[in-house]
Amino acid sequence: MWSDLIVKETRQLREPYALEHNHDIIADKSSKNIVCMEAKSKNIKLFIKLKPFEVLEPPKCYRDVSTIGHYGIGEVELTISTPEEFEEAKQYIELAYNKVGG
């Protein structure tokens, strides 16, 4: 399942990664929330704790949600429906992690 893969990849950002997984929010217990997952039937929406200007080359699955209401954290949404889109998304998850003090 996509969410399991995303959790696994996020854990690998730092070892040991003290992961808290409540209500589809992945958080480093020693830091802050970095990504929120919303599972859909055909894809997963990731809300990443980044500002839109921090995404220098937005992938096709990118959406700026800074001016709309949404559940989750951050101002960047990535809709993941293929392995290739997930590979693109990983760099932004890591960027968010590093920005909050990873």
What confidence tens digit (pLDDT) does each residue in 61-78 have?
Answer: 999 999 987 777 889 999
Cβ atoms within 10 Å of 87's Cβ, excluding its own: 12
Q: Which pLDDT does position 102 carry in this prediction? A: 58
Whole-model pTM: value is 0.75
Long-range contacts (CB closer than 8 Å, 24 or more residues apart) made by 23-28: 25/72, 25/73, 28/97, 28/100, 28/102
| DSSP element (H, E) containing 78 | strand 76-80
Q: Which pLDDT does position 17 carry in this prediction? A: 46
